Copies of this chain bind each other. A is one copy, B any other.
Amino acid sequence: MKAKEMMDKEFVFVSKDDSIVDVSIKMEESRRFTAPVLDSSMKLVGWITSFNITEGLREGKKTISEVMSPVEDIMSISEDEPARNVVISASKNKLISIPIINEDNQVIGVSRSVDIVDSMSSLYDVKVSKIYKAMEKELRGVSWEELMEASAKISTRTTGVKISPEQYEKNIEKATFGEAIWATGGLEKFFAGLISVGEIVIARKVGRARR
CA A189 to CA B113, docked complex, whole Å: 27
Interface residues of A (CB under 8 A from B): 1, 21, 24-25, 27-28, 31, 33, 49-51, 53-55, 57-58, 82, 84, 87-88, 90-91, 94-96, 113-114, 116-118, 120-121, 123-124, 126, 130-131, 134-135, 138-139, 142, 177-179, 182, 187-189, 191-192, 194-199, 201-203, 206
Main secondary structure of the interface of A (DSSP, over half): helix
8 sampled A-B residue pairs with Cβ under 8 A: A25-B58, A28-B55, A33-B49, A33-B50, A96-B96, A113-B117, A131-B188, A142-B195
CA A113 to CA B111, docked complex, whole Å: 13
CB distance from A40 to the nearest CB of B (A): 26
CB distance from A179 to the nearest CB of B (A): 7
- Closest Cβ neighbor of A201 among chain B residues: B199
Which of the residues B49, B114, B182 comes within 8 Å of A91, measured between beta carbons? Answer: B114
B residues in contact with A54, CB < 8 Å:
24, 27-28, 50, 53-54, 57
Known: A50-B33, A96-B113, A196-B198. A130 touches B182 (CB 8 A): no
